Structure 1
């Protein structure tokens, strides 16, 4: 085998190894060959896109696939451009390092996300073309965390919800409750304080309970698929018949909880605070309030310089003056190089593509 190693590495910019809007990604493509090798071209690509797919079954032998794509940006850099038809660009025996550097678009791009029904992926890809041979490919995903969107309507405004229920079977009278929160938006790890006012003018006692749950929504071809999952729950002291009470509770947003995703048209990640009255033999009255989970500020960029391999999760740090690429085997002692030449990148408005065919997630 002529090509012994073909891979992509990138440098981390913080201790979490995450990137955000406008960040610079510095890295390198590694090409290791066992002898002199003719190469037609070497191309680096960076992409951010979302994909949704699920199967809807209709009877035993028939099903339909619902599918949608959304693209956010595409960056392409020709490190070694196509030479002659005979592929006369030659790299010598040994290990070669081809550095790259580019800026992520400073626009509304959704965070990385993965679920069974859909995902949002940010990745690097490299392609090495040789005459009369299969194209060599390498890829590496990186974690993107979108900056907090403070333009969400009602984000910092108080939230309110109410519910009334009349009892006709297995009891009489009515029950009402009012829920108040200070605002809609909270950072990861922050406390949510809410007030519950309950008036029980019924002949039965009620058991107030509450929960924080996530709601994942996937959209394709005019259809929607929803998955919910309870994150935490608790209860409030039961309220006897013909009484009223006001209770204030505090819950903490788990620090590891992924931030809300509201800027993708085919995938939504939302959170709800649900307060309900547990009542036997009747439908429980419930109030659901929106909770927007905002990302914490990213850690400061580290000053040390250490390589990071995305494939193995090693952490490293940004090198502001990465070396240029070389077509000679890497030397043990480092030498000064000039920065790599700039190349074009373009960000695109989100475009949604729908399909109706068998396929799998990217």
Structure 2
């Protein structure tokens, strides 16, 4: 900062989690001048990418403790000129406050999430350079946070994850029995702040008192010139009750909340950030019995509509356009009943001539018996032509039945 001059960068549409690939970044470069100032040029440079080195970063941020050759990948490189440099011409900015608007679009391709780890980082920033005559250039930097879109509703992240393992505790011939562990979670993808219900069955066939636990771990992987280093850390944990010898324990949705962490990073070839849920048994005097369930921390929350439901619903999506082609423009009269019922059926079902008294007595028979006498009887003939067009009266139907 120079006496009499203050420059800053303000982003207008920045959200809490930053920007995503393909979005527009809008803002202002603000100049506050105490006196008239000559300006040669004003330029804005948005750049960033990933850098990895096996020299640890101090506290996970800042400069490296010692210089070391590493690898870097560039993801963003945009330049905007706000005040152009003109030959033989000087721009005079009067004293006061000046706002210079800028807008640029982030690349639509892979744009890795902002991240700072033990052996590397992914960082983006906006650099503004003010050029003036006879004085050094004034530059101001501002961090540009980027978040890669990871949708936990994708089919591969909605499938349940389950693992099982068994361990026999003892030494040589003095074994005390097996300890079995089976753990399951409902899906693979979750977001920050969500609670993971854990389902587990633990059977203690040993003679020792064991304790079941669960924890979320983050694994950072850094690849430099073909070599890899990893760093693993626990983020959150939960503990169960002690399980005595010969007893079993069941977790019916034991809750473990995901803290605020960096989303999973898999689209960078020199830095990877992965997560897993470890369900393990602490056994005194023996190694832990551990099962690891992979997790993906996303940015698009779960919408409650699983892929299985979506696939079932898609089976009932029917194209009804054929129906319009099948319907005739003019409706046709129904077919003659005699044309679709054989003479044999008609003769077989024809009722015999009965006296009036017999018919009257038949009305007292059960309804089913009476109905059977009218099977396969032809309905009256159908006609769309009125046989008495001149004798139309109010209440007379337009279509009549010929006796």
Give the aligned length: 288
Kindly provide the CA deviation profile for residues 269-319 of structure 1, in whole angstroms up to 9, marking residues without a partner as x.
22221111111221111111111112256xxxxxxxxxxxxxxxxxxxxxx
2:9 matched residue in structure 1: 8
Matches for 1:201-350 after TM superposition, within 5 Å: 201-254=205-258, 256-296=260-300
**Richer in strand (by share):** 1
Unaligned runs of 5+ in 1: 57-62, 298-362
Rate the CA distance shift 1:64–1:164 in 2: closer, same or farther, 3 A. Answer: farther
Rate the CA distance shift 1:212–1:2 in 2: closer, same or farther, 3 A. Answer: closer
Question: Which fold has the larger relative contact order, with Cα–Cα distance below 8 Å and residues 6 or more apart in sequence?
Answer: 1
TM-score when normalising by structure 2: 0.63
2:236–2:258 CA contact under 8 A, matched in 1: no
* C-alpha RMSD of matched pairs (Å): 2.8
2: CA distance, partners of 1:252 / 1:203: 29
2:29 matched residue in structure 1: 29
Unaligned runs of 5+ in 2: 57-65, 302-403
2: CA distance, partners of 1:152 / 1:281: 43
Q: Does 1:176 align with 2:176?
A: no
Q: Does 1:73 align with 2:71?
A: no
Kindly provide the CA deviation profile for residues 69-102 of structure 1, in whole angstroms up to 9, marking residues without a partner as x.
1211211112223321x5x232233233221012
2:158 matched residue in structure 1: 156
2:218–2:276 CA contact under 8 A, matched in 1: yes
1:18–1:144 CA contact under 8 A, matched in 2: yes
2:39–2:93 CA contact under 8 A, matched in 1: no
Q: 1:131: how far off? A: 4.5
Kindly provide the CA deviation profile for residues 163-213 of structure 1, in whole angstroms up to 9, marking residues without a partner as x.
222233264332221221111101222221222122333333432121122
Moved more, 235-244 or 203-212: 235-244
2:371 matched residue in structure 1: none
1:82 matched residue in structure 2: 85
Rate the CA distance shift 1:149–1:68 in 2: closer, same or farther, 3 A. Answer: farther
Q: 1:159: how far off? A: 0.9
2: CA distance, partners of 1:165 / 1:252: 25
Instruction: Identify the match of residue 200 of structure 2 among 171, 193, 196.
Output: 196
2: CA distance, partners of 1:150 / 1:180: 18
Q: 1:34: how far off? A: 4.9
Kindly provide the CA deviation profile for residues 120-168 of structure 1, in whole angstroms up to 9, marking residues without a partner as x.
2221111123455422211111322222245978322111222222233
TM-score when normalising by structure 1: 0.70
